[in-house]
Structure 1
Amino acid sequence: MAARGRHSETRRGRRSGRLREMKQRLFIVLALLVLGLLMVGLNAVSYVQQVREPDQEAAPIRSSYHPGATGTKAFYTLLAETGREVTRWQRPPAELITEYRNPPSTLVMIGPFRREVSEEDASMILSWVESGGRLVIIDRLPPRQLLTTSLSWTLEAKYGTEAGILSVDPANPAQMTAATPAYRPNLPSLLTRGVNAIQPSRFASTVEATRIKPPSIDAETYEGETYQAPANTGTGGDSGSSYGPPPSPTQTPFDFYDAGTGQGTGVGQPSPPPAAAPPPPVAAETPQAGEPDQTTEPPPDDAKTWFVAPFVHFTASGRAFALDFPYGEGEIVYVGDPYIVANGGITAADNAQFAVNLAAARQGLIAFNEYHHGYGEGNNRVFEYFAGTPVVAILLQVVVLGLFVIYSQSRRFARPVPAPDPDRLSKLEYVGAMAELQQRTRAFDLAMENIYADFRRRVARHFGVDNTATSRKELAAMIGERTDRDAGEVGKLMERCEDIVHGDPTDKREVLKITAELRELEDALRLSRTGRRRV
């Protein structure tokens, strides 16, 4: 009886210890939850939404993500909703060359850029263009490394006026286009299809194209020539908004193909006097058999590009405003004013049609360069998504709180105590030791108490009844009904078990017999004794 009492006290002590530990953990969890809710509430109350400042033409944001007046989101959306395949390129330019799954055929770069176009970036972009890509640059001050051609021409951007750029409202078309007429196309082309006129801003830039001497032409017969727009081909600041009168018979337009003398005839210059009559032809000598014919010689490769020039679609003030020129196997298109494709100016005149022609002149994927606008690699996407919200501050505070909890749990807060001695006995060793102790002390009642209590608990759980509220007679009737055995015999077996537990004399043989009968009843009820799977 004393051993049984000590065993009960041990179990009660363990149960109370577990309850105490569970209460402590519950308190910690609730405290952390309340603290987290308090932090979220404080951040929500103290958060002040930043007022978005209006766009400024002096510091525009030309990203296709930006919905403001200086952004190009309307241009991107227009292409997407009209069935063009369009995407935002947020990777380094080097991957333009290595992209094989869905390579872009046209790259649209609208400046100015937040991320500088380095020499390496420009080299990668030009390598992509040289292999057959199409680059569209829309910027007032384009990167000079990209404004280049494989022809015998040099291109130099000429920035327009900056007067009033700090005070102008980019969302006000009247202010942006004050005293600036619309530009009409020079000649019909793929980029001017369906375009009657485009309306740039008063800050538009132009390009000065100058032909250079190839090595195959004698320097004594060459003088550098600069492109001059014909007086009747554009409607820039000097020519008005309509076509001028036709040129007089003594005037000839600029001749891009006058490579024989290197002396192009510009607008307003008198025509050269007629050449003298050529001398009578002389009969050519017939070459002897076996001798090569040396009367003709193919022109050198560098002279072939002399007969090709950039194609100017729009002009302004005698210079090119929109032009395209080849580079290797590809093509570069330049437009001198992003206002034409910006949200605030794309609806003016035929700007929308011209913008679509710029991007969709070639079939394939159209990629908007967002990498140089600050998106893509090098930025944290999570912080980029939650920028301007209190979520970032909340996440940082949660991280700090977690580090504080880890530090407090690992820090000693009381006197050092010796570590408890580990239990070096396994459960089987404990069971074997207890069985040997009960056998030596002939404590059959304690063994029967453990066996019968476990049997009764398992049977009650099997039938779904309360072990403490169900009588022995009711439980025996349930067992007899389920196993087709006499309920009275089952009741007597259970009564004998309880008598032994309460102190009736017994011996080893009887305890073994009763235990075997209880195991038979468990098998009949299909009470599995398989150990629980530990997770």
Structure 2
Amino acid sequence: MNRQTLTNSLLVVLVVVLLLGINLLFYVKPEPDAETDEYADRSTHSSRPYGTLGAYLFLQESGVRVSRWEQDYRALADRQDVRVVIFVEPRTKPRTRQLRALAEWIGRGGTFVMFERSWPLRLGRQQLLPGSYLPPEGPGSAFGQVPVQRAVPWQPGGAFQGVSWLGISPKATTVMLQPVPISKIEDEPSFPLQMTACVPLAGVQDTPAVAEVRYGAGRIIYVGDPFVIANQGLAEGDNARFLLNLVRLATRDNAGQVVFDDYHHGYRATNGGLLGLLGYFRGTPIPWMVWHIVALGLLAAYTLGRRFGRPVRLPVKPRTNALEFVTAMARIQKAAAARDLAIENLYRRFHRRLCHYTGLPTTAPLKELCLAASERSGHPMSEWRAVTERCQAVIEGRATIGDAELLRLAQRLRALDARLPP
């Protein structure tokens, strides 16, 4: 790894650490806001006024086989023990495929209890369409904390055995069974069964608030107000008895399972794996960190794999080593009888070191240079002068030497060079 690559890598790591630090520094877990009737968690996990944890625990303590449904409606085909599905006005509504699976399950004998005020249930050519608000009645709250209206039973027995009135909120709506517009029927898949007549079960004055619709071998119970099953409304009137009678009648004395639809409230079973891991880190800065790392990784891969500038030639390694080069030069000089060139190669380096040793410039006369070297080294001046003058004469062409003298002169240069400090 070269220096530039190392610098780029450290820069990327620094940016990643900076982004992670910013996320951790500025992340503040949001405090839950006060719920409203239009925007509330109505799941069985919520113990707030609009939740249904109280209804879930009430049925559980009453001996009803109750559980939370955290899967798609298409999984109902594999659950023969589920007899009742309780649907309490979630913010996320079922899609067409889920409705088709739900319709098949109801047609086989299931009971779908929906507490809804605005969403129309479309199964085939008919739809349960919520209507207007119920006519106002005098307050009938047993606790006086919230305004409550009274819905009286119209059909004796069954789910209303022992029920004198139901406590509903002023926002409760009525329901109507109407045909679906032709334009919407063409865009949706066909359903094997159709909803039959809507039978009102309870209401205010002459306006129904609770109705029953047959669908194949099963039925749909519509209650136009989730307040009836909410934590704050379960104790009003005979709401709790009505709920218990309803599920016992549908399960044939606890012979089946009752499930609360928490899937559409956002509580979804993932069976582990990647989705389970993502669900575990939901609401934390970890997903943002992962996405930052992925983005920076892609950026780094792009920048390292792309050239920004002119192409640079790759370094060419020498094909020979230093010893081969010296051997080749020696053969060339021997073949050319260039003894003066061989002496010059040795003497030039020795002369530079000698000047550096004596502190004189390279243009100093040889006599002064040898005198200074003799004084510093303690060796006779004649040794220094004889070698340097002979080499200088050969280099300048004033003298010629043979191979034997060349070898002796080179040895004497090496000996004098060894006296110089490194």
What TM-score, normalized to structure 1? Answer: 0.43
- Name the SS of the counterpart of 2:30 in structure 1: coil
In the alignment, what sits opposite 1:417?
Answer: 314
Q: Larger strand proportion, structure 1 or 2?
A: 2
- Name the SS of the counterpart of 1:322 in structure 2: strand
Once the two structures are TM-superposed, the CA of residue 201 in structure 1 deviates from its matched residue by 0.7
Distance 1:59 1:398, change over 3 A: same
- 1:406-485 to 2 correspondence within 5 Å? 406-407=301-302, 410=305, 415-417=312-314
1:109 pairs, out of 87, 93, 118, with 87
Once the two structures are TM-superposed, the CA of residue 335 in structure 1 deviates from its matched residue by 1.3
Once the two structures are TM-superposed, the CA of residue 356 in structure 1 deviates from its matched residue by 3.5
Q: Larger helix proportion, structure 1 or 2?
A: 2
Deviations 1:255-307 (A, max 9, x none): xxxxxxxxxxxxxxxxxxxxxxxxxxxxxxxxxxxxxxxxxxxxxxxxxxxxx
Q: Distance in 2 between matches of 1:74 and 1:415?
A: 74
Letter in 2 for 1:417: L
Distance 1:415 1:135, change over 3 A: same
- 1:103-502 to 2 correspondence within 5 Å? 104-111=82-89, 113-115=91-93, 117-118=95-96, 121-146=98-123, 157-160=130-133, 174=144, 176-177=146-147, 180=149, 182-186=150-154, 188-193=156-161, 195-207=163-175, 312-360=200-248, 361-362=250-251, 363-373=255-265, 384-407=279-302, 410=305, 415-417=312-314
Are 2:135 and 2:204, in contact at CA under 8 Å, matched by a contact in 1?
no
Deviations 1:235-261 (A, max 9, x none): xxxxxxxxxxxxxxxxxxxxxxxxxxx
In the alignment, what sits opposite 2:23?
Answer: 43
Q: Distance in 1 between matches of 2:124 and 2:306?
A: 64
Are 2:12 and 2:296, in contact at CA under 8 Å, matched by a contact in 1?
no
Once the two structures are TM-superposed, the CA of residue 80 in structure 1 deviates from its matched residue by 4.7
Q: Distance in 2 between matches of 1:399 and 1:134?
A: 47
Are 1:115 and 1:374, in contact at CA under 8 Å, matched by a contact in 2?
no
Once the two structures are TM-superposed, the CA of residue 128 in structure 1 deviates from its matched residue by 2.2
Residue-pair matches, total: 285
Deviations 1:367-409 (A, max 9, x none): 3334544665999665555443222222212223433454565
Unpaired segments of 5 or more residues in structure 1? 1-20, 164-172, 211-307, 422-535
Once the two structures are TM-superposed, the CA of residue 351 in structure 1 deviates from its matched residue by 2.3
Letter in 2 for 1:323: A
Q: Percent identity?
A: 28
Deviations 1:425-458 (A, max 9, x none): xxxxxxxxxxxxxxxxxxxxxxxxxxxxxxxxxx
Letter in 1 for 2:237: A
Q: Over aligned residue pairs, what C-alpha RMSD do you find?
A: 4.7
Letter in 1 for 2:206: G
Deviations 1:333-384 (A, max 9, x none): 1212111112332233332333333344313222333454466599966555
- Name the SS of the counterpart of 2:159 in structure 1: coil
Deviations 1:411-431 (A, max 9, x none): 66994426999xxxxxxxxxx
- Name the SS of the counterpart of 1:41 in structure 2: helix
Are 1:148 and 1:155, in contact at CA under 8 Å, matched by a contact in 2?
no
Distance 1:60 1:130, change over 3 A: same
Are 2:134 and 2:204, in contact at CA under 8 Å, matched by a contact in 1?
no
- Name the SS of the counterpart of 2:133 in structure 1: coil
Are 2:213 and 2:220, in contact at CA under 8 Å, matched by a contact in 1?
yes
Are 2:134 and 2:209, in contact at CA under 8 Å, matched by a contact in 1?
no
1:55 pairs, out of 9, 15, 35, with 35
Once the two structures are TM-superposed, the CA of residue 125 in structure 1 deviates from its matched residue by 2.5
Q: Distance in 2 between matches of 1:33 and 1:81?
A: 56
Are 1:191 and 1:313, in contact at CA under 8 Å, matched by a contact in 2?
no
In the alignment, what sits opposite 1:234?
Answer: none
1:88 counterpart = 2:69: yes
Distance 1:117 1:39, change over 3 A: closer
Letter in 2 for 1:76: Y
Q: Distance in 2 between matches of 1:386 and 1:327?
A: 41
Are 1:189 and 1:313, in contact at CA under 8 Å, matched by a contact in 2?
no
Structure with max Cα Rg = 2
- 1:520-531 to 2 correspondence within 5 Å? none
Moved more, 41-50 or 328-337: 41-50
Letter in 2 for 1:398: I
Q: Distance in 2 between matches of 1:37 and 1:79?
A: 51
Distance 1:412 1:78, change over 3 A: farther
Distance 1:89 1:377, change over 3 A: closer
Are 2:152 and 2:204, in contact at CA under 8 Å, matched by a contact in 1?
no
- Name the SS of the counterpart of 1:75 in structure 2: helix
Q: Distance in 1 between matches of 2:102 and 2:157?
A: 26
Q: Distance in 2 between matches of 1:417 and 1:56?
A: 69
Q: Distance in 1 between matches of 2:12 and 2:157?
A: 69
Unpaired segments of 5 or more residues in structure 2? 137-142, 179-195, 319-422
Letter in 1 for 2:67: V
Are 1:207 and 1:320, in contact at CA under 8 Å, matched by a contact in 2?
yes
